[in-house]
Amino acid sequence: MKKGILILTITTILMMLSINVLAVCPCTQNIVAVYVDGEKLSFPDQAPFINPDSRTLVPVRFVSEALGANVDWNGELQRVDISHQGKGIKLTIGQKEAKVDAGVVTLDTNAAIVSDRTMVPLRFVSECLGAEVEWNGNAREVYITTQNAKPVKPFVGQPYNQAVDLPVSEYLGYELFDANKPGARVSYITVDELPAQVGEYIIYSLTVDDEYVHVKQRPLYKTESPAPMHIKENGYLKRNRNYLDGQQGLYTYSYPLTLQRELAVGLEKTDKTKIEAFVFDDLNQNLDSEVLVIKNPLCEGGN
Domain membership of residue 151 (yes or no) is: no
Domain membership of residue 13 (yes or no) is: no
Residues 105 and 198 in one domain: no
Average pLDDT on 284-292 reads 91
Widest pairwise Cα distance in the chain: 91
Residues 134 and 186 in one domain: no
Q: Which of 113, 145, 177 is the last residue of a domain?
A: 145
Report the number of distinct structural domains present in the chain. Answer: 2
For the stretch 19-40, pLDDT in tens is 333 334 555 568 899 999 999 9
Range of the domain at 291: 158-295
Residues 216 and 257 in one domain: yes
**Which pLDDT score, from 0 to 100, does residue 13 have?**
41
CATH number of the domain that residue 99 is part of:
3.30.457.10
Residues 164 and 285 in one domain: yes
Residues 131 and 61 in one domain: yes
**Which pLDDT score, from 0 to 100, does residue 5 have?**
52
Residues 234 and 211 in one domain: yes
| Mean confidence (pLDDT) of the chain | 85
Residues 192 and 241 in one domain: yes
Residue 282 has pLDDT above 50, yes or no: yes
**Which pLDDT score, from 0 to 100, does residue 192 have?**
96
Domain membership of residue 77 (yes or no) is: yes
Domain membership of residue 165 (yes or no) is: yes
**Which pLDDT score, from 0 to 100, does residue 235 have?**
85
**Which pLDDT score, from 0 to 100, does residue 18 have?**
39
Residue 18's contacts (CB-CB under 8 Å, 6 or more residues apart) are none
Residues 141 and 163 in one domain: no
Element at 165 (helix H, strand E): helix 162-165
At 1, the pLDDT band (50, 70, 90 cuts) reads low
Confirm if 282 and 179 have CB atoms less than 8 A apart.
Answer: no
Q: Which of 145, 177, 211 is the last residue of a domain?
A: 145
**Which pLDDT score, from 0 to 100, does residue 285 have?**
87
Q: How are the residues of the chain apportioned to helix, strand and coil, as percentages rounded to the nearest 5? A: 15, 40, 45
**Which pLDDT score, from 0 to 100, does residue 242 have?**
67
At 65, the pLDDT band (50, 70, 90 cuts) reads very high
For the stretch 164-203, pLDDT in tens is 888 887 665 567 777 778 889 999 999 999 999 999 999 9
**Which pLDDT score, from 0 to 100, does residue 14 have?**
40
Residue 225 per-residue DSSP state: S
Residue 127's contacts (CB-CB under 8 Å, 6 or more residues apart) are 133
At 162, the pLDDT band (50, 70, 90 cuts) reads confident
**Which pLDDT score, from 0 to 100, does residue 28 have?**
57
Domain membership of residue 20 (yes or no) is: no
Domain membership of residue 3 (yes or no) is: no
**Which pLDDT score, from 0 to 100, does residue 159 have?**
94
- Verdict on whether the full-model pTM lies above 0.75: yes
Residues 70 and 171 in one domain: no
Residue 45's contacts (CB-CB under 8 Å, 6 or more residues apart) are 115, 116, 117
Percent of the chain at pLDDT exceeding 90: 57
Average pLDDT on 74-83 reads 95
Residues 249 and 164 in one domain: yes
Domain membership of residue 139 (yes or no) is: yes
Average pLDDT on 61-66 reads 92
Distance CA 28, CA 228 (A): 33
Q: Is 108 strand, coil or helix? A: coil
Residues 289 and 171 in one domain: yes
Residues 89 and 192 in one domain: no
Q: Which of 84, 118, 145 is the last residue of a domain?
A: 145
Question: Helix count (H) and strand count (E) of the chain?
Answer: 5, 23
Average pLDDT on 71-83 reads 95
Domain membership of residue 163 (yes or no) is: yes
Backbone angles phi, psi at 177, to 5 degrees: -60, 125
**Which pLDDT score, from 0 to 100, does residue 23 have?**
39
